[in-house]
A and B are shown apart, each in its own frame.
Chain A
Amino acid sequence: MFLTIDAQDRRPIYQQVAEGIQALIAAGDLKEGASLPPVRQLAADLGVNLNTVAAAYRELQTQGLITVKHGARATVASRTTVARPDTELRRPLRTALTQLVLAGLPKRKILGMVSDELEALLKGTR
């Protein structure tokens, strides 16, 4: 199981790490209770500051996707514990859709893209 990091990506490294782990959890590659590598190991492998990986883990913890206990390794949280309001969940979707509309794509094309991405994302969970 791999995390993809692109040195030329505009997103900061912590965001790439957080979003990569999010995608693995969504695809079912990282299942509930699975352990994540220690912050120290990821930071040493990537050659980044400890705080960068810690920030990614904090972000995931805030979203309720992982649990981090002091002195123990971070683990993937139970999906049922992720109880977030509908409006909060819709916000990133609206942001992404806005980008696609601003790019001038027709509604049909946008729906097709969303469907394809959702299909790819859920492939691993079935």
Chain B
Amino acid sequence: MSDAYFYVIFLLFVAVQANTLKKRWRLHLLRGEDWFFGVRVQPGFYGDPGRKILRAHRMRLLFPYVVELLAAALILRYGRPVQLTYLMFGMVALIVPNHILAVVAAQRQARRYELPGSQPSPTSVLLPLETRRLRDYTHLSLEIGLAAANVLALALAYRSSDWAVPALMLYLQAGALLIKVALVGWRTLLPADHAEAYAEWREQARRLFLDTCDTVRILLAAELLFAVCFDYLGGMPALISATVVMLIAWVAWYNRRRNRFLALTGGITPVKLPGALELEEYPRGVLCYRPAYPAMLIKGPQRYSLNLASRRTQAGVAYAAGLAGLCFWMFS
């Protein structure tokens, strides 16, 4: 593929990032001026203490972009444009967890200025008795379409000696499927008050993330097909145009869904739900091994702990190791 392809994709990626950063910059005001994310703050918070917390939070938000800028400069100076693709994957893996951790850290700091009694922590919780299965969140026609596109792409790629791109695209699709499995198993515990509203919010969140996984799988399958049909499509201009159109459509779709979800989130008062109900001793570190507990994340009084005994955690670790191996193979 020509260098122009990687430059165009990277520029699109930067444009999407800028738009996302703009939204995250003011996300702390989602529930209004009385709130800092999910913390109901005391009047005057945004004066002295809040300003410092907000500044530190925004610095944390900017951190991955500084890393990206430096890495992109090094790649453009010493590397090859194809490495911009790996940088983009790396950035996605860095930006999302960084944002989550930044929000968690900022909220923790803001709790010192929380309006007393503003966040209820009910001891009584409701547990939905509906069975959640992956197949209930699976669209058969979509799966058939994706399978057909992948089989067709592999059949066309069979003649090619370059298996790196098809292997990566298929592996990433499998990763999106793995995330879907984890999302279906996402802990669903509801406060006794306004349970219906919380259940609706939780379900909408689950649907948003699941649909995002599905649309990412569509993008990857389509991109794989376009990449192997490179010659038939008429070369680079057609490939770039198809990619740009797909990405723009996806960003528009995602923004619309996300805005709808954020509007719903703004109307929900955060509740501190109890952690694991039965643990005699909460895990102390961020990692733990509790074979008798099937939860992937065990919520303690202070933080979550990743349960290495959970099947989903093990699948995730195996997947990450496989991805690292695949990237190593591609580089070498």
Q: What secondary structure prevails in chain B residues at the interface with A? A: loop
In chain B, residues 99-136, which have Cβ atoms closer than 8 Å to a Cβ of chain A? 123-132
Asked if B293 and A30 sit within 8 Å, CB to CB, the answer is: no
How distant is B314 from chain A, measured CB to nearest CB, in Å? 14
Q: How many interface residues does A have (CB within 8 Å)? A: 30
Q: Out of B123, B276, B292, which one reaches A6, CB within 8 Å?
A: B123
In chain B, residues 274-301, which have Cβ atoms closer than 8 Å to a Cβ of chain A? 274-279, 292-296, 298-299
Contacts of B4 in A (CB 8 A): none
Asked if B292 and A2 sit within 8 Å, CB to CB, the answer is: no
- Once bound together, how far apart are the Cα atoms of A45 and B274, in whole Å? 11
How distant is B146 from chain A, measured CB to nearest CB, in Å? 26
Contacts of A48 in B (CB 8 A): 276-278, 293
Contacts of A7 in B (CB 8 A): 123-125, 274, 277
Contacts of B292 in A (CB 8 A): 49-51
Interface stretch among B67-75, B158-166, B184-192, B231-239?
B184-192
Contacts of A47 in B (CB 8 A): 187, 274-279, 293, 295, 298-299
How distant is B281 from chain A, measured CB to nearest CB, in Å? 13
Asked if A30 and B274 sit within 8 Å, CB to CB, the answer is: no
Q: How many interface residues does B have (CB within 8 Å)? A: 30
Contacts of A41 in B (CB 8 A): 131-132, 185
Q: What secondary structure prevails in chain A residues at the interface with B? A: mixed
Q: Does B271 contact A (CB under 8 A)?
A: no
Contacts of B127 in A (CB 8 A): 2-5, 42, 45-46
Q: Does A36 contact B (CB under 8 A)?
A: yes
In this complex, the member of A4, A7, A44, A50 whose beta carbon has the largest number of chain B beta carbons within 10 angstroms is: A44
- Once bound together, how far apart are the Cα atoms of A1 and B127, in whole Å? 8
Known: A6-B123, A8-B123, A48-B277. A37 touches B130 (CB 8 A): yes
- Once bound together, how far apart are the Cα atoms of A41 and B195, in whole Å? 19
Interface string of A1-19 (1 = CB under 8 A from B): 1111111100001000000
Asked if B129 and A3 sit within 8 Å, CB to CB, the answer is: yes
Residue of B with least CB distance to A52:
B278
User: What would 8 more interface pairs be, CB under 8 Å, given A47-B293, A47-B298?
Assistant: A1-B130, A37-B131, A43-B293, A44-B185, A44-B187, A45-B127, A46-B276, A47-B274
